Amino acid sequence: MNGVYIITAHCISTSRDAEPASDGAYVEVYTTDTSESLAKARAMKELAAAGWRCLDITGVARRTRQDYVANAEGPEYFEQALLDGIVLVAHTFPRKGPHW
């Protein structure tokens, strides 16, 4: 496998104990699935298992190692996904303000 799908999802926490200062997130799911539909399905399953409810998928991209030659942003998540099959990266924010 030489490529990774990156699914970006706008989510809210399903935990009753979620901190009000960080109960929303944009989560990037890096997965080695072989098609976009499989990648999206796996992303939704993994997000739910991690305590996130997806409000919207805001982006889908297919990346290869070549994409990281000129752009140094995110290669560690790409490489980890190649090893583990999946990586979730959550960028949290309060459920108030410009994101809502």
Biggest CA-to-CA distance, the chain: 42
Residues 18-65: tens digit of each pLDDT: 555 557 899 999 999 999 999 999 999 999 999 999 999 999 999 998
Using only the alpha carbons of the chain, give its radius of gyration: 14
Query: Tell me, what's the pLDDT at 24?
Result: 86
Which residues constitute the domain of residue 66? Answer: 3-99
Q: What is the pTM of this model?
A: 0.86
As for how many domains the chain has, the answer is: 1
Q: Report the chain's mean pLDDT, rounded to a whole number.
A: 87
